[in-house]
Chain A
Amino acid sequence: GIQVEQSPPDLILQEGANSTLRCNFSDSVNNLQWFHQNPWGQLINLFYIPSGTKQNGRLSATTVATERYSLLYISSSQTTDSGVYFCAVESGSNDYKLSFGAGTTVTVRA
């Protein structure tokens, strides 16, 4: 099956700093989503971004499908940004089966 690799595994930031999280995948994808998992386990949709660039407030994401990677940018980080960020891809045609990376744990310190 498709392999999803996220880096770095852990990231410690000072409040106000910017950061970039990376997701590499081993095959072409029809769907790529970024999620933020809060301390209670809830996976919160950040972006649906199989290609191109999107922005939502302090977060933005870029997926270069031809080179099989996606980037998530966090600007002016806040303590509420702490948590685990997952990249998940769907390689089949509209099969709604997501393969997840291992996640990046982000800790933002005040």
Chain B
Amino acid sequence: DAGVTQSPTHLIKTRGQQVTLRCSPKSGHDTVSWYQQALGQGPQFIFQYYEEEERQRGNFPDRFSGHQFPNYSSELNVNALLLGDSALYLCAAASWGGPDTQYFGPGTRLTVL
């Protein structure tokens, strides 16, 4: 059990809307990364948060933004949704300075109509 939780499980939105996804790492994990997995592909790195700051960012537009809270939980926000944003969004947690092993949550499946 990776101990990483995500909410909601599924979400349906329409083009142009905004969405917020949430992730809670298990105790001891202070680094949260977000990934987008389109159907039939491997996950793609969106960005990473540590100490409430964005540390790294993948090749995603500014419509994708995030936040990390003092309890290490994190949110992913996507504005002006496009059909192409339909995907499984995965959150991964790790302990900064600790083992490189990352643990993934169950994901949020977003459908944009």
Contacts and interface: CB of A to CB of B under 8 A. Distances in A.
Interface of A: 4, 30-31, 33, 35, 40-43, 45, 48, 50, 86, 88, 90, 94-103
What's the dominant secondary structure at chain B's contact region?
Answer: strand
B92, B100, B103: most-surrounded residue (chain A CB, <10 A): B100
A97 B32 CA distance: 10
Contacts of B37: 41
Given A41-B37, A100-B42, A103-B41, 5 more contacts: A33-B101, A43-B43, A45-B101, A96-B92, A98-B45
B48 A97 contact: yes
Nearest to A38: B106
Contacts of B100: 30-31, 48, 50, 90, 94, 96
Contacts of A40: 106
B102 A96 contact: yes
18 contacts: A35-B104, A41-B37, A41-B107, A42-B107, A43-B43, A45-B103, A48-B99, A48-B101, A94-B97, A94-B100, A96-B31, A96-B92, A96-B96, A96-B100, A97-B45, A97-B58, A102-B41, A103-B41
Contact of A43 (B58, B101, B104): B104
Contacts of A42: 104, 106-107
